[in-house]
């Protein structure tokens, strides 16, 4: 696999955050390039486990201690990424830096503001019900879309290195502008997440445990995302509030004031929903 | 199985509507009581298929032609059930009548208004992605909750017969008042259905096919219900619009005006969502 992916050399990589995504990046890199030197940054306990399993070769206590690597990967929630990007930029770090944060505009703005020149944003479309290093897998990104969002002034070399990195993981790089990325994410990920949370709180409070036990498969699916942690979502929502608010307003415009009265309108919205669902199923049937 | 279910005799049953639910009722009854006489009412083409496969023993062209059975089961969408109940009541039919409609208040009101005395409402908590007689299965109701909603003046004999019918199908009868049934259904079934429809229309229109192809598993789950047909949902929504509107208003009260600003409020709603989701998963882990 490694031979088939050309590009600038990638021999020393620093990964900040060894959770599901950071851990899976380490495992995937190791499997295609066994001699790679991986330096991890996380809590002492996580690093100890990662060293013991040889997921990483070396542990350091801060992203600021990674100046000697080819690529720094920030695999943390968006809020932490923002802080680290500012620190690296102010410290004049010249290594190529990328991230896996769920929103991209604020992260790129932080890179520009702090003069972190070789920053290329990223966002893998891969996840799992499970979190943490224990859930990490070298196959997590195989065949999955990995959005690449170059900074305004990033050098072509930096973009080429991140492109190689993504391909080494088995993912498919798709370049997108930060605005388009964040707007799509608001409609396809953030609004659904909030609807799941609001639905289960509304319905749980209304029917109680006695009612909830009769919920069927539809309710189960519509609320699975409600198990997500606010620790991750707080910074996603805070950094994309404008587009999520737009999406919410768009949704509200198709909610009728009085339900059940206007049969033609209901038929119309179901017909449109059926059509979009058909398209989605067609898309999902296709290889990416 | 049949010997273990006691109650009034059930030797002749009429089933109006031989779709997924009506067809599955016929198959389940036949499997536990092979000598039962099942009379089906549906379109000519459906009845021909049902006769050919011996799903039914006899075909008739109207619910009004079922006066000689022990039990008439209305397995049609709510709108059609309302019409048939009125017809049967006005015709003075004295057979016990039950239904499988997704809402119960309007159906029971129709039975009372038309003086259909031996009416016992029902609603099985079972379904399938697939529809129609071809998707029917004698196991569809096994172990599933079947809500039983007695009319105001139904005779104890009628209730006993419907109880026996439900148990013969392998389902678990749970008696509930029409108000409680419809309110729970608004929160656990109808609001989720509408959210799925509104979400996919909003997001599909906003991001188009080019964006939709990057939707992940969460979006897929949150919009699966959007494949449902408005033909079924129109009468469900029309007959439960007050409770669905209540549920929608309750949901709107927890949607913040400005997203991403009030971190404490976001943490609180996620914590409540996480708790309800834990309860739901606990419930789903338990046998019903």
pLDDT tens for B228-253 read 988 889 999 999 999 999 999 999 99
Residues 137-166 of A with CB under 8 A from B: 145, 147
Tokens of B134: 């071809």
- H-helix segments, chain B: 20-32, 44-52, 78-90, 105-113, 156-168, 178-185, 191-212, 217-223, 230-238, 241-253, 263-285
Average model confidence (pLDDT) across chain B:
92
Instruction: State the average pLDDT over residues B207-216.
Output: 93
Residues 12-51 of B with CB under 8 A from A: none
pLDDT interval class at B151 (50, 70, 90): confident
Q: Does B172 touch chain A (CB under 8 A)?
A: no
- H-helix segments, A15-122: 20-32, 44-52, 78-90, 105-113
For residue B286, what pLDDT is reported?
61
Instruction: State the average pLDDT over residues A110-132.
Output: 91
**pLDDT of residue B119 exceeding 90:** yes
For residue B1, what pLDDT is reported?
46
pLDDT interval class at A283 (50, 70, 90): confident
**pLDDT of residue B284 exceeding 90:** no
The CA–CA distances, whole Å, from A251 to B59, B74, B89, B218, B221 equal 47, 36, 43, 18, 18
**pLDDT of residue A1 exceeding 60:** no
pLDDT tens for B49-61 read 999 999 999 999 9
Q: Does B265 touch chain A (CB under 8 A)?
A: no
Residues 69-108 of A with CB under 8 A from B: none
**Of A263 and B286, more confident:** A263
**pLDDT of residue A261 exceeding 90:** no
Chain B residues lying within 8 Å of A193, measured CB to CB: 218
Q: Can you tell me the ipTM of this complex? A: 0.92
**pLDDT of residue A105 exceeding 50:** yes
Please tell me which residue of chain B has the smallest CA distance to A245.
B259
Distance from CA of B94 to the nearest CA of A (A): 32
Instruction: State the average pLDDT over residues A116-141.
Output: 91
Q: With pLDDT > 90 as the criterion, what percentage of chain B qualifies?
A: 82
For residue A286, what pLDDT is reported?
61
Q: Do B280 and A220 touch, CB atoms closer than 8 A?
A: yes
Record: contact B225-A237, CB cut-off 8 A: no
Q: With pLDDT > 90 as the criterion, what percentage of chain A qualifies?
A: 82
The C-alpha R_g of chain A, in whole angstroms, comes to 21
Please tell me which residue of chain B has the smallest CA distance to A253.
B202
CA angle B37, B43, B48 (to 5 degrees): 55
**Phi, psi angles (nearest 5°) of residue A234:** -60, -45
Instruction: State the average pLDDT over residues B88-104.
Output: 96
**pLDDT of residue A287 exceeding 60:** no
A133, exposed or middle or buried, with CB in 10 Å at 0-12, 13-18, 19+? buried
For residue A4, what pLDDT is reported?
61
Instruction: State the average pLDDT over residues A71-93.
Output: 96
B234, B273, B279: residue with CB nearest A197: B273
Q: Does A221 touch chain B (CB under 8 A)?
A: yes
Instruction: State the average pLDDT over residues A242-259.
Output: 89
A245, A259, A272: residue with CB nearest B241: A259
The CA–CA distances, whole Å, from B9 to B14, B162, B249 equal 14, 11, 47
In 3D space, the residue among A135, A96, A141 whose CA is nearest the CA of residue A123 turns out to be A141
**pLDDT of residue A12 exceeding 80:** yes
DSSP 8-class letter at A186: I
For residue B153, what pLDDT is reported?
74
Model-wide pTM > 0.90: yes
Average model confidence (pLDDT) across chain A:
92
Distance from CA of A193 to the nearest CA of B (A): 8
Record: contact B207-A222, CB cut-off 8 A: no
For residue B288, what pLDDT is reported?
44
Record: contact A250-B174, CB cut-off 8 A: no
Q: Do B56 and B81 touch, CB atoms closer than 8 A?
A: no
Record: contact A222-B222, CB cut-off 8 A: yes
What is the total residue count of chain B? 288
For residue A278, what pLDDT is reported?
92
pLDDT tens for B183-197 read 999 999 999 999 999
**pLDDT of residue B146 exceeding 50:** yes
How crowded is residue B162: how many other Cβ atoms within 10 Å of its Cβ?
29
**pLDDT of residue A18 exceeding 80:** yes
B214, B261, B275: residue with CB nearest A188: B214
Please tell me which residue of chain B has the smallest CA distance to A223.
B277
Strand partners, B58: B39
B219, B250, B275: residue with CB nearest A189: B219
Instruction: State the average pLDDT over residues A86-110.
Output: 96
pLDDT interval class at B4 (50, 70, 90): low
Tokens of A159: 């973009």
Instruction: State the average pLDDT over residues B142-168.
Output: 92
**pLDDT of residue A21 exceeding 50:** yes
pLDDT interval class at A284 (50, 70, 90): confident
Please tell me which residue of chain A has the smallest CA distance to B221.
A221
Instruction: State the average pLDDT over residues A191-210.
Output: 96
How crowded is residue B2: how many other Cβ atoms within 10 Å of its Cβ?
16
Chain B residues lying within 8 Å of A211, measured CB to CB: 184, 187-188
**pLDDT of residue B7 exceeding 80:** no
């Amino acid at each position: 696999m490694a031979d088939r992916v050309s590009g600038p050399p990638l021999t020393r990589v620093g990964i900040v955050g060894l959770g599901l995504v950071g851990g899976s990046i380490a495992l995937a890199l190791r499997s295609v390039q066994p001699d790679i030197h991986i330096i991890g940054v996380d809590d002492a306990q996580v690093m100890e486990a990662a060293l013991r399993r040889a997921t990483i070769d070396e542990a350091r206590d801060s992203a600021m201690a990674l100046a000697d690597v080819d690529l720094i990967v920030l695999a943390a929630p968006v809020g932490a990424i923002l802080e680290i990007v500012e620190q690296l930029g102010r410290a004049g770090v010249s290594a190529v830096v990328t991230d896996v944060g769920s929103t991209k505009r604020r992260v790129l703005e932080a890179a520009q503001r702090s003069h972190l020149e070789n920053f290329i944003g990223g966002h893998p479309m891969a996840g799992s019900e499970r979190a943490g290093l224990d859930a990490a897998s070298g196959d997590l990104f195989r065949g999955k879309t990995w959005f690449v969002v170059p900074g305004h002034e990033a050098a072509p070399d930096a973009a080429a290195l991140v492109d190689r990195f993504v391909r080494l993981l088995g993912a498919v790089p798709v370049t997108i502008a930060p605005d388009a990325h964040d707007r799509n994410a608001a409609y396809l990920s953030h609004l659904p997440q909030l609807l799941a949370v609001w639905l289960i709180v509304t319905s749980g409070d209304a029917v109680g445990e006695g009612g909830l036990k009769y919920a069927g498969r539809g309710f189960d699916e519509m609320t699975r995302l409600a198990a997500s942690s606010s620790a991750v979502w707080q910074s996603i929502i805070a950094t994309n509030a404008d587009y999520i608010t737009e999406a919410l307003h768009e949704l509200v415009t198709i909610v009728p004031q009085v339900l059940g009265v206007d049969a033609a309108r209901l038929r119309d919205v179901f017909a449109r929903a059926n059509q979009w669902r058909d398209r989605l199923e067609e898309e999902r049937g296709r290889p990416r």
